[in-house]
Every structure is written in C-alpha cells, then in structure tokens.
Amino acid sequence: MKASLICEDKKFKIIKTLLEAKGIELDLNANTVFIDETINVEKDNKIYILFNSENLNQFLDFLDEFFCNNSNSNKDFIAGKDDEEIKLISLKKVQFFEADNNNIYCIVENEKKIYKIKEKLYELEEKLDSKEFMRVSKSNIVSIRNISQIIPWFDNKLIIKFEGTNKKVEVTRTYLKKFKKYLGV
C-alpha cells in the first residue's frame, strides 16, 4: 500500500519507520494520507486518516487491523518515551517491563535509559508473543530470550537476572507454576 504522511518534522522519521515496517510505502501522490491530528492542512479529494502521534501503538494497531490484514502478527518494536524523545524499541532488546506507581517502564539491554510505555501490563501481556514474553509477577513481564540466570530463592520463589543490567525480577508464587512449566522444569 502507498500513503503519504503529514506530521511534525521531529516525529516524521519514527512514523515513517513504523509505516515501512508495516509494508506501507510513502508516496506524496498517494490517495491515502496519514495525518497527525495536531496538523491543520487544506484537504482535497484524498482519504485522510487522523492519528495521535502521542499514542503510536494505537495507530499501529489500527494499521494492523485495517491495512496490513496482519492483526495477529507480532510487532518487532514498541514505542517508549524517555525525558527527551519517543524511541522505537526493538522487542528483541527488551529485558522486561515493570509496573511502578501506575507507570509502565521498559528496561532495555545495554542501555542506561528506562523508557516509559503507554500500555498497561495486561495490555502488553495480550499483545506480546507468549513464546517470547511471560508474566512472572503482578508488576513484571520478562523477555524469555534475554534471561541470563534463574536463581532459586526463599519462600518458593525464583530470581531472574539479565545481561547488561543489575536489575533483578522475582517470579512470585502466583506465576511460578506457569513459569516452570514453560521452561520444562
């Protein structure tokens, strides 16, 4: 599919990457136009689809459902925000997601930054590939591929360690049986 894109210059590159990842080619002469709802332009006889650039994941879901016929496919990235910018984060680099005071954070391998994610943990749990990501506690979803060590701990719990970070995640009793079954232990 071909479409044109109208958005702020600072977000253009990110959104262009998102569209290309979905197989959408940018073409100024396309009849379909994706436009950030904050931009006012004079409209002609094209099809205009408004989106909110602050909620890129909702826009991606829309693209999956209506344009790519690929709503069951797994995304290769997620949008996260640090103090300065929105960044596309490869799910292959994500070590875990963590809930803290109604905020959800994404911890990425070999990076010093932690990114804030818009989705709630239960929404991430539904969207993420269950072969790659698993809920291990009330406040954590971990990437199975990025676990470096699993340590038995007191009170029938496990501690998960990851490469490139000192952070640890606890597998609580509620999720222990499912986690062990997944690992075949």
Does pTM top 0.85 for this prediction? no
Question: How does strand 47-51 pair with strand 32-36?
Answer: parallel
Strand arrangement of the beta sheet that strand 147-153 belongs to: 147-153, 157-162, 168-171
Q: Digits of tens for pLDDT over the chain (185 positions)?
A: 889 999 998 889 888 888 887 778 899 999 999 999 988 888 888 889 999 888 888 888 788 776 655 444 446 888 888 877 888 888 988 999 999 988 999 998 776 778 999 899 999 998 898 889 999 999 999 999 889 999 988 877 899 998 777 889 999 989 999 998 988 87
Domains of the chain: 2-66 (no CATH), 77-183 (2.40.50.1020)
- Positive or negative, the CA dihedral 124, 65, 131, 55 is negative
